Amino acid sequence: MAEPFSIRRQPGFTTIALVCFVLLYLPIVVMVIYAFNEATSVSTWGGFSLKWFVAAWNNDQVVDATLRSFQIATIAAVLSTVCATMAALATTRTEAYPGLTFTYSAINQPLMVPEIVTGVALLIFFSRIKIVTGYDGLAYLIAAHTAFCVPFAYLPIRARLEGMDLTLERAAADLYATPWQAFRRVTLPLLWPGILAGLMLAFVTSLDDVVITEFVKSGGQDTLPTYMLGQLRRGVTPEVNALSTVFLLLSVVIVTIFFFISRKKD
């Protein structure tokens, strides 16, 4: 009997995988190492030091941009996850109807359209609103990030719903539970890992977004990624390496925490 196909047994698989991992992670490792560089130059090692982390911590612009990034990412992640949950329920807990595929495509449109196109469209749209209302606050950034993050939250939530057994939900309906009661007591507890995964993806996506933020933000509304981009235009410094290292660590911590929470819920 022929053995089932396995990509791992194909010639050169291990070598190709190792090369890919090296090309992907070696630059990150170099960046992290030079974040602890004593020297001002990023090409000369001057000894181990934490001074660039301290410099970033004492930089008021960095602190303001960081707090603004967390504020926008938190609100956008919550709003997009709520919208994605409702959209996932509407596209999975219903009979197939004409236009369902179009609806699915429309929800995932930000994933298919180049981000710069979305950024330009949002710039034009919000500029008209700014002229009419005179408002120039963070609501535009929050709305833009929310719209962009919806498909990132939608995909894991929809996947979770499609993998759930409908028996318990039908049993709740047979026991005269209202749709809201069935959702709150049956569907939501089973769906919670998918919601957490969607929230995580939406938060990280919003936190490190650059393109849409660059187009939509007004003066004095730099997030941490756009601030770092502005610094890179003046030249790479160890302080930028330190900020990137903190960003990397934060992302790893968030992913790890939500991974263990989701596994526990499973």
The pTM is what?
A: 0.82
Residues 117 and 183 in one domain: yes
Tell me, yes or no, whether 3 lies in a domain.
Answer: no
Residue 201: φ, ψ to 5°: -65, -40
Residues 62 and 38 in one domain: no
Residues 99 and 178 in one domain: yes
Tell me, yes or no, whether 166 lies in a domain.
Answer: yes
pLDDT at 5: 65
| Residue in the block written with tokens 């709305």 | 143
Give the residue among 161, 263, 148, 153 at the shortest CA–CA distance from 213. Answer: 148
Tell me, yes or no, whether 38 lies in a domain.
Answer: yes
CB 157 within 8 A of CB 85: yes
Residues 174 and 200 in one domain: yes
Tell me, yes or no, whether 5 lies in a domain.
Answer: no
Residue 236's SS3 state is coil
Residues 28 and 121 in one domain: no
- List the structure tokens of 83: 């919208």
Distance CA 250, CA 255 (A): 9
Please compute, for residue 19, the number of CA atoms within 13 A of its CA located in the half-sphere on the CB side.
5
| Residue 63 identity | V
Domain range for 30: 11-49
CB 36 within 8 A of CB 48: yes
Total length of the chain: 266
CA-CA distances (angstroms) from residue 152 to 78, 104, 126? Answer: 12, 13, 23
Residues 136 and 17 in one domain: no
pLDDT at 107: 83
The conformational region for residue 176 under phi > 0 = left, psi -120 to 50 = alpha, else beta, is left
pLDDT at 80: 94
Residues 187 and 130 in one domain: yes
- List the structure tokens of 224: 């941490």
pLDDT at 1: 53
CB 75 within 8 A of CB 142: yes
The structural domain count of the chain equals 2
Residues 15 and 116 in one domain: no
Distance of CA 252 to the CA centre of its chain: 12
Residue 48: φ, ψ to 5°: -75, 135
Cβ neighbour number for residue 165 with a 10 Å cutoff: 8
* CATH number, residue 189: 1.10.3720.10
Distance CA 237, CA 42 (A): 6
Distance CA 265, CA 149 (A): 24
Tell me, yes or no, whether 1 lies in a domain.
Answer: no
Per-residue pLDDT of the chain (266 residues), as tens digits, is: 556 766 667 777 788 889 998 988 898 888 888 888 888 776 777 788 888 888 888 888 888 988 899 999 999 999 999 999 998 888 887 777 777 778 888 888 888 888 888 889 999 999 889 888 888 888 999 999 999 999 999 988 988 888 877 777 778 877 777 778 888 888 888 888 888 888 988 998 898 888 999 998 887 888 888 888 887 777 667 788 888 888 888 888 877 877 776 665 55
pLDDT at 83: 92
- List the structure tokens of 194: 């998918």
Distance CA 196, CA 194 (A): 5
| Residue in the block written with tokens 């005269």 | 176
Tell me, yes or no, whether 6 lies in a domain.
Answer: no
Cβ neighbour number for residue 143 with a 10 Å cutoff: 18
